[in-house]
Structure 1
Amino acid sequence: MTDFASEAGYLKNEKLKSALLQHKALSAKGFSERMFGLLFSGLVYPQIWEDPDVDMAAMELGEGHNVVTIASGGCNMLAYLSRSPAKIDVVDLNPHHVALNRLKLTAFRHLPAHSDVVRLLGQHNVDANISAFDNFIAPHLDDTTRAYWQKRSIGGRRRIDVFKRNIYRTGLLGRFIGVGHLLARLHGVDLTKIAEAKSLREQRQFFEDRIAPLFDKPFIKFLTSRKSSLFGLGIPPQQYDELASLADDGSIAPVLRQRLEKLACHFPLRDNYFAWQAFARRYPQPHEGSLPTYLREEHYPAIRDNAERVSVHHASFTELLNQKPAAAVDRYILLDAQDWMNDEQLNDLWTEITRTAAPGARVIFRTAAEKSVIEGRLSQAIADQWTYQKDRSEALNVQDRSAIYGGFHIYSKNT
């Protein structure tokens, strides 16, 4: 097992460096890449920001499927287990995500009941979560993951202590959302108040009256004109450029406004836990709305029983596929990772995807901009073996509750 407990950081994480760095250090683009890499070397996503229900519909995921996916916060991997696939291989270049995914899997396997899982992963300010970790989870973790969560800060707190507060306010994304709330308050807007809306009409009214005007404020326009302003969303310089290409003046403020409008206005709050995390910085209580798919009681037995079918790897997608035999994988979930890649990296990845793809295999991914990033960039020999499901992709993109991406894409292997 790869030892990822050491926090030597981004500079010693060769896997992450090789994925991110495409320009010389002294160039402007090279500096941005290295700055992003330093931020990305810690925990980034305590919650994954891709809609698992859209994923499962796109994949037509079912029993017997062999799946390879990127880990991120681990929520979607667990949701996929509700469909009883044969095996899921989870990969991530970020060791913090690896540790979080292994923790979540062990929680499902060894906590006594569904309510205990919800308290640990879905609630905040619960002191009992720490004793639950010590008694039921820690004894079943591998040595490296257990050491990760037992590690103490300079102040003496164990890393696991975050679960008795609110893990979703931590990580790069959690802190970025916190800064967004602070900026809104400095302009007289309390974003948490949208949780009081009782209808889509009231949600839209709050957005139009309180949130939308923020994007016209000079300071916010200034901030969003800097690539580093979106590093907290896990958006690298390459993705910023894609977003900026959507606006006439190169500013991403109108793009961010549009994405936030979808998040705030297109889905009832009761049904959109992504909106709760963005605006209330927590999950809803039972009387307020639904929990994420993987925390719903109806899925708990299947996820618990299937958790042993998952293997979590500190590796790149291409690296893992290189170790698999031909025609061994049915479903691939790439998240938005291809937005980071140059043509050589894309072709290396799709060479392995094509080699390992079983008959009828499907690949799904998201993009910052609307268009598919692989069109016109893959070798013809590879591209000819795949069909883009354009209409289905566009239809499901409309249904994606996370709302932060411009495009959702499905490719199926030709028979």
Structure 2
Amino acid sequence: MPLAAPAPANRAVCAAVHRHEHLSKQGVLERAFTFAFRGLVYAQIWEDPEVDLEALAITPDCHVVTIASGGCNVLSYLTANPRAITAVDLNTAHIALNRLKLAAARHLPDHAAFHRFFDEANRPENVDAYREHIAPHLDDVSRRYWEGRDLTGRRRIGGFSRGFYRKGLLGGFIGAAHLVAKLYKVDPRVLLEARDIDEQRAIFEAKLAPVFDKKFVRWLTDQPASLFGLGIPPAQYEALATADPEGRMAAVLKRRLEKLACDFALSDNYFAWQAFGRGYGAGPAAPLPPYLRRAHHAALVARVDRVEVRHANMCDYLDAMPDASLDRYVLLDAQDWMTDAVLDRLWRGITRTARPGARVLFRTAAEPSLLPGRLDPALLDRWEYHVEASRDFTLRDRSAIYGGVHLYVLRG
């Protein structure tokens, strides 16, 4: 069955991903990805905000521009007290989620209600809180999204009463991974029973690592469509596969999961709780992203009006901004999708709008920075790559999903 024609709101995503003819193998995969990408992809962003905050070194005069994604890091950056944050995204569901979080921060009565809504995200009271405190303050487009129905016929806002972090492409991918593990009589939740890092490694090696050596799992992960749930389009799949000498995706995923499971204490890594427990941990000591912590709530509420959310392409946004007007740029892993021409356009916009001392932070599926050899050398020479710092940030990124975290600083 042919895929439906893209809606106008999705055409920018198609332009970013489609590189091949419709009927080629890669072309079919690219169009299948953009079809899947039309809805919610990330209920929670998978870039470590603690690493971001250190790398960005945000100061009170900074204007930060970032790809919005699930909005967790947008709000977490407010803890650094920037002058302004502009969050842009091509995905309409992500725009609606960001606007929901901003309205919730402004209008929910206290930290307890905010925490329950986005930490627990599985309580019937959350729908009541939405109706009473949030919905009257949402823009019409976002309200129609949350009060509209998903493919099962349920209203989307009801996800916050049934386990929101199980929603979206990534939530579905994690659920499917749990099902595959259970085919081999392994429950990934067992890792959460570990009392220290040594036990985490022992459980990973005994229970989880062998799953990746199964013939079916090796075959399944060698299909590019199998990673659509991670938000990985075909071009990025190819880059990720280069991390293994034999190009076997199962080996790459095994190493990334090993880092997630074994390199950080469970008491400090909410990404592990999301992957192995499908939600945040319970109890007052459970690790949380900065924006959900009680200690940051008052500052978050006071600063939330500094955030602007735009349904836009990053390049288009930069083209409309004045020279020397921005300070920090967060590109997530979006450059993995881009052609050389789009990379040049993006970095011309960044370089023109960058103020002295500007910083650019991005991630890549493979380990090396993708800019050398692809970006116009005249543009690249304007920026200093912080090699050792980038390696350190990569090692300490608790989400463990990316091969590289990269920091560039404007020269002069």
TM-score range, shorter chain: over 0.9
Q: What letter is aligned with 2:313?
A: S
Q: 2:142 aligns with which of 127, 130, 145?
A: 145
Counterpart-to-counterpart distance in 1, 2:243 and 2:162? 39
Q: Does 1:204 align with 2:201?
A: yes
Equivalent positions of 1:290-309 (< 5 A) are: 290-309=287-306
**Could you say which residue in structure 1 is the equivalent of 2:315?**
318
| SS of alignment partner, residue 311 of structure 1 | strand
Counterpart-to-counterpart distance in 1, 2:278 and 2:396? 22
**Could you say which residue in structure 2 is the equivalent of 1:4?**
none
Preserved contact between residue 95 and residue 310 of structure 2 (Cα < 8 Å): yes
**Could you say which residue in structure 1 is the equivalent of 2:31?**
34
**Could you say which residue in structure 2 is the equivalent of 1:372?**
369
**Could you say which residue in structure 2 is the equivalent of 1:157?**
154
Task: Please list the CA deviations of residues 269-300 of structure 1 after superposition, one character each: whole Å capped at 9, or x if unmatched.
Answer: 01000000000001011255212211001111
| SS of alignment partner, residue 300 of structure 1 | helix
**Could you say which residue in structure 2 is the equivalent of 1:3?**
none
Counterpart-to-counterpart distance in 1, 2:313 and 2:149? 28
Which stretches in structure 1 are left out of the alignment for 5+ residues? 1-6
**Could you say which residue in structure 2 is the equivalent of 1:384?**
381
Which stretches in structure 2 are left out of the alignment for 5+ residues? none
Counterpart-to-counterpart distance in 2, 1:154 and 1:343? 37
Preserved contact between residue 122 and residue 159 of structure 2 (Cα < 8 Å): no
**Could you say which residue in structure 1 is the equivalent of 2:395?**
398
Q: What letter is aligned with 1:94?
A: N
Q: Does 1:245 align with 2:262?
A: no
Equivalent positions of 1:95-134 (< 5 A) are: 95-134=92-131
TM-fit CA distance, 1:253: 1.0
Counterpart-to-counterpart distance in 1, 2:166 and 2:344? 37
**Could you say which residue in structure 1 is the equivalent of 2:88?**
91
TM-score (norm 1): 0.96
**Could you say which residue in structure 2 is the equivalent of 1:189?**
186
Equivalent positions of 1:66-81 (< 5 A) are: 66-81=63-78
TM-fit CA distance, 1:110: 0.6
Counterpart-to-counterpart distance in 2, 1:180 and 1:34? 23
TM-fit CA distance, 1:156: 5.5
TM-fit CA distance, 1:26: 1.0
Preserved contact between residue 332 and residue 363 of structure 2 (Cα < 8 Å): yes
Preserved contact between residue 10 and residue 38 of structure 1 (Cα < 8 Å): no
Counterpart-to-counterpart distance in 1, 2:335 and 2:240? 14
Counterpart-to-counterpart distance in 1, 2:332 and 2:153? 36
Equivalent positions of 1:219-368 (< 5 A) are: 219-286=216-283, 289-368=286-365
TM-fit CA distance, 1:354: 0.3
Q: Does 1:176 align with 2:162?
A: no
**Could you say which residue in structure 1 is the equivalent of 2:79?**
82
Q: 2:40 aligns with which of 34, 40, 43?
A: 43
Preserved contact between residue 9 and residue 92 of structure 2 (Cα < 8 Å): no
TM-fit CA distance, 1:152: 3.3
| SS of alignment partner, residue 88 of structure 1 | strand
Counterpart-to-counterpart distance in 1, 2:108 and 2:256? 37
Preserved contact between residue 72 and residue 92 of structure 1 (Cα < 8 Å): yes
Percent of residue pairs identical = 52
Preserved contact between residue 122 and residue 164 of structure 2 (Cα < 8 Å): no
Preserved contact between residue 200 and residue 267 of structure 1 (Cα < 8 Å): yes
Counterpart-to-counterpart distance in 2, 1:62 and 1:317? 22
Runs (4+) of structure 1 exceeding 6 A deviation are none
TM-fit CA distance, 1:204: 0.4
TM-fit CA distance, 1:250: 1.6
TM-score (norm 2): 0.97
Preserved contact between residue 10 and residue 16 of structure 1 (Cα < 8 Å): no
| SS of alignment partner, residue 122 of structure 1 | helix
Question: Structure 1's 205 and 153: CA in aligned 2 closer, same or farther, altered over 3 A?
Answer: closer
Q: What letter is aligned with 1:362?
A: R
Equivalent pairs counted in the alignment come to: 409
Greater mean alpha carbon deviation, residues 7-16 or residues 161-170: 7-16
Question: Structure 1's 149 and 248: CA in aligned 2 closer, same or farther, altered over 3 A?
Answer: same
Greater mean alpha carbon deviation, residues 226-235 or residues 155-164: 155-164
| SS of alignment partner, residue 373 of structure 2 | coil
TM-fit CA distance, 1:249: 1.9
TM-fit CA distance, 1:325: 0.3
Preserved contact between residue 10 and residue 17 of structure 1 (Cα < 8 Å): no
Counterpart-to-counterpart distance in 2, 1:179 and 1:394? 32
